């Protein structure tokens, strides 16, 4: 399989992806952002002391969840020692602990923890992916990196479009990353001015998924109590209701 090494190659390869397995494989073989490739590989080489004996994934992190998902959870980017270590989104870090515990309470995950790619976790009616597929330094991708990575997101949404009803945007970056999807996937002009992100924000358009805003499950938010388990339960309860998931 050909690697993607330029923005044009990302566009072409994403457009060719026939199903999620093909897309996931293609994403994993992407090298189009030099700064992020350097960073993900450096983190994988130097490692955190607690994980010194582990082999890091050190590659882009594909989405996770079934192809017939009715709910999508859109994050920012993988964590350096979470998804970039384990190879699965929100897996192996505190953010994932909070997110998957909430998904389990909502009946959307078969277990409350997500520690490794082979831990038996499965999702129901839900697919999780991020706007940028490589771990960025300080969790801050550049606008160019965001735009270079966008075709992967757009193709992923296209592939699950037949069933997708609700998107939960974790944080303002993900919320902003959704608007280009409306144009690229649904052929619709994004609203202007753009609706403002907030926890509990809800935007509806005609014949497109409902968009819900949720504070990101970052340690900064969950440790300080800005985002509580109850707040997550409310968001996922609302998402299930809108998506007509039992
Ligand atoms: S951030 Fe996206 S486009 Fe950039 S190298 Fe990673 S997967 Fe490729």
Question: How many Å apart are CA 132 and CA 155, to the nearest integer?
Answer: 13
Angle of helix 143-160 versus helix 172-186 axis, rounded to 10 = 60
Q: Enumerate residues lining ligand 1, CB below 6 A.
A: 10, 27, 30-33, 36-37, 60, 132-134, 145, 148-149, 152
Pocket test for ligand 1, best of 11, 78, 84, 133 (most atoms within 8 A of CB): 133
Centre of ligand 1 to C-alpha 28, Å, is 9
Kindly report the protein residue whose alpha carbon is nearest to atom 6 of ligand 1: 134
Indicate the DSSP class of residue 38: H
Interval 138-148 mean pLDDT:
97
CA 228 to CA 246: how far, in whole Å?
Answer: 23
Per-residue pLDDT tens digits for 29-53: 999 999 999 999 999 999 999 999 9
| pLDDT of 41 | 97
Q: Give percent above pLDDT 90 in the chain.
A: 99
Q: Is the pTM here over 0.85, yes or no?
A: yes
Q: What is the pLDDT of residues 156-178, one digit of tens each?
A: 999 999 999 999 999 999 999 99
Say yes or no to pLDDT of 1 above 70: no
Q: Do 217 and 232 meet the contact criterion of CB atoms below 8 Å apart?
A: yes
2 pLDDT exceeds 90? no
Chain centroid to Cα 192, Å, comes to: 25
pLDDT digit string (tens) for 184-219? 999 999 999 999 999 999 999 999 999 999 999 999
Is the pLDDT confidence value at 237 over 80?
yes
Identify the pLDDT of residue 234.
98
Would you list the DSSP string of 128-145? EEESS-SPPGGG---HHH
Q: How far is the CA of 225 from the centre of ligand 1 (A)?
A: 32
CA distances from 43 to 59, 87, 96, 239 (A): 10, 13, 19, 35
Cα of 62 from ligand 1 centre, angstroms: 10
**Is the pLDDT score of 227 beyond 80?**
yes
Joined tokens for residue 151: 């075709």
Give the mean pLDDT of the chain. Answer: 97
- The minimum-distance atom of ligand 1 relative to the CA of 10 is 3
């Amino acid at each position: 399989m050909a690697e993607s090494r330029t923005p044009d190659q990302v566009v072409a390869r994403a457009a060719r992806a026939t199903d999620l397995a093909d897309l996931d494989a293609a994403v994993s073989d992407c090298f189009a952002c030099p700064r992020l490739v350097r960073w993900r590989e450096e983190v994988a080489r130097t490692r955190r002391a607690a994980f010194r004996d582990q082999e890091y994934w050190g590659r882009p992190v594909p989405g996770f969840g079934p192809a017939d998902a009715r709910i999508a959870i859109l994050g920012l980017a993988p964590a350096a020692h979470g998804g970039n270590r384990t190879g699965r989104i929100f897996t192996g870090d505190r953010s994932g602990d909070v997110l998957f515990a909430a998904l389990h309470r909502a009946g959307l995950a078969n277990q409350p923890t997500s520690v490794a790619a082979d831990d038996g976790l499965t999702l129901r009616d839900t697919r999780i992916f991020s706007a940028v597929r490589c771990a960025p330094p300080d969790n801050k991708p550049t606008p160019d990196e965001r735009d270079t990575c966008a075709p992967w997101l757009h193709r992923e949404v296209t592939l699950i479009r037949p069933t997708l009803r609700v998107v939960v945007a974790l944080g303002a970056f993900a919320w902003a990353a959704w608007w280009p999807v409306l144009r690229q996937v649904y052929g619709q002009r994004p609203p202007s001015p753009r609706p403002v992100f907030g926890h509990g924000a809800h935007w509806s358009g005609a014949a497109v998924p409902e968009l819900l805003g949720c504070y990101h499950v970052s340690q900064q938010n969950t440790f300080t109590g800005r985002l509580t388990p109850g707040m997550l339960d409310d968001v996922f309860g609302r998402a299930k209701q809108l998506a007509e998931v039992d």
